[in-house]
Amino acid sequence: MSLQSYAIIESTLREGEQFIGANFSTQDKVEIARALDRFGVEYLELTSPCASPGSESDLRTIASLGLNVRVLTHIRCHKGDASVALDTGIDGLDVVIGTSSQLRQFSHGKSIEQIIDLAADVLTWIRQQAPDIELRFSTEDSFRSSFADLLRVYLAVDQLGVVNRLGVADTVGIASPDEVAKLVGTIRGLTQADIEFHGHNDSGCAIANAFAALQAGATHIDTSVLGIGERNGITPLGGLVARMMTHDRDTVLGKYQVDQLYEIDHNVAERVGIDVPFNNYVTGIAAFTHKAGIHAKAILNAPETYEALDPADFGLTRYISIAHKLTGWNAVKARAEQLNLDLSDAQIKTLTQHVKAMADERSLTLDDVDELLHQWAQAQQIPSSTMASNSKNNTGILQQTPEVLGIS
């Protein structure tokens, strides 16, 4: 099944503000909003204007920037909150109320009947106040709520005929893809509304759950840059993009400026005081690095052998590490060619064995291998500077030094 008409609700400026390291200034928010707008996400979700005076003025500022992206804010199921939010010039309201027994008991204390009555009152009132606004209603902690309770709530809200979207939230990150598919598929079959999925990553399923939601008929997915959010966060923007690229690359390239992902991830990481994790989707330091000789050989022949994603799509290059005991002669040969050193295959093979033996004794760097290659080439006194530049230099392979990547 090809998924083409989904929208990303980018919540770095709401869920992401709930990340322990986040304390965005107005300028941070404006710059992040502009970057995400250029990237092409369809929506930005911002913190409720009721959270603090600065949150309210920042919301007004972002809503008045004239961006292409639609600006939403996230509020409790509360007329007072809605009234403040509607005055800020936003395009839409994301309304949420908890439905799990935990939240009903320890948070707002309401029964399912009271939740339905409150939702009907607040949502109908919002629609009267703002006929053109995009209105979403979501149940918090959907996956620890009783299925029957959830369906009662969603059906009652859908029948009001006032909301555009129903939201499903895996608030504590416990849902599995099949559970997400079941809930989203059921709501899809019983209601007219669009469906939004918001998934936390406590047990590592946030991306898979978002994908399962889309396959089951969800239309909107919540993300944040690097996945930042409450605890260990939600579906990361880059991770969702990677997942969707492997599924349908052309649709993603048509929707989003994915070559901006590296800059966006690093920029937000800096603003919240963290490094981009080494294994981050697409933009982590190891995402397009290759090490074992067997991998390196195949990558040199045809990169897709070991790459589901093409780094060039993201404006990035791959890196093959050769200074270690798992190295192979094909990769060492490619490095010799890149350095314009003329060594026979037999010499390269012997030299590779030498590199392996040295690596058994100590950690090596690319400089160590380069030095060996130069020594061996000089030993046979073939002037390397006269050789034509090598086509391997145009492949993007081996062009970054380990220092650039921070690895050897």
Which residue ranges make up the site for ligand HCA (CB under 6 A)? 15, 18, 74, 94, 96, 138, 140, 167, 169, 171, 198, 200, 230
Q: Give the 3-state secondary structure of residue 97.
A: strand
Indicate which of Cu ion, ligand HCA, none lies near residue 390 (CB less than 5 to 8 Å, by partner kind): none
| 10-47 exposure pattern, b = at least 16 Cβ within 10 A, e = fewer | bbbbbbbbbbeebebeeebbbebbebbbbbbbebbbbb
% helix, strand, coil for the chain, step of 5: 50, 15, 35
Nearer to ligand HCA, 75 or 407 (CB): 75
* Annotation says 247 is catalytic: no
Nearer to Cu ion, 229 or 303 (CB): 229
- Could you tell which of Cu ion, ligand HCA, none binds residue 138, using a CB distance below 5 to 8 A set by kind? ligand HCA
Q: What is the rounded distance in angstroms from the CA atom of residue 240 to the CA atom of residue 261?
A: 12
DSSP 167: E
94 binds, among ligand HCA, Cu ion, none (CB under 5 to 8 A by kind): ligand HCA
- Phi, psi angles (nearest 5°) of residue 261: -60, -40
Interaction pattern, residues 13-52, with Cu ion; x per rule: CB under 5 A: --x-------------------------------------
- Number of Cβ within 10 Å of residue 164's Cβ equals 17
DSSP character string of 311-326: GGGGT---EE--SSTT
The residue (of 15 and 194) whose beta carbon lies closer to Cu ion is 15
Report the nearest approach of Cu ion to the CB of residue 358 (Å).
Answer: 50
Beta carbon of residue 100, minimum distance to ligand HCA (angstroms, whole number): 10
CB of 229 to Cu ion, least distance (A): 6
* Smaller CB separation from ligand HCA, 48 or 280: 48
Which residue is at the shortest CB distance from ligand HCA?
171
Minimum gap (Å) between residue 171 Cβ and Cu ion: 6
If contact means CB under 5 to 8 A according to the sort of partner, which of ligand HCA, Cu ion, none does residue 96 touch?
Answer: ligand HCA
- Structure token digits, residue 305: 């052998």
Residue type, 359: A
Residue with tokens 């650039």: 404
* Interacting partner of 167 out of ligand HCA, Cu ion, none (Cβ under 5 to 8 A depending on kind): ligand HCA
| Crossing angle (nearest 10°) for helices 329-338 and 366-379 | 70
Residue 325 near residue 361, CB atoms below 8 Å: no
Q: Which is nearer to ligand HCA, 147 or 278 (CB)?
A: 147
Binding segment for Cu ion (CB under 5 A), chosen from 11-19, 96-104, 303-311, 365-373, is 11-19
- Given 74, 198, 290, 295, the catalytic residue: 295
Query: Phi then psi for 113, rounded to 5 degrees?
Result: -60, -45
Least CB distance from residue 192 to ligand HCA, whole Å? 19
Closest to 28 measured CA to CA, from 263, 262, 271: 271
Binding site partner of 29, from Cu ion, ligand HCA, none, Cβ cut-off 5-8 A by kind: none
Residue nearer to ligand HCA on the CB measure, 9 or 366: 9
In whole angstroms, how close is the CB of 303 to Cu ion at the nearest point?
37
Please, which residue, 104 or 335, has the CB nearer to ligand HCA?
Answer: 104
Q: Give the nearest distance from C-beta 102 to Cu ion in angstroms.
A: 15
Judge residue 81's burial from the number of C-beta atoms within 10 Å of its C-beta, 0-12 exposed, 13-18 middle, 19 or more buried. Answer: buried
Residues paired with 220 in a beta bridge: 7, 196
Q: Report strand pairing: 289-290 vs 43-46.
A: unpaired
Among ligand HCA, Cu ion, none, what binds residue 255 when CB lies within 5 to 8 Å by partner kind? none
Catalytic residues: 295
Q: Provide the binding-site residues for Cu ion, judged by CB under 5 A.
A: 15
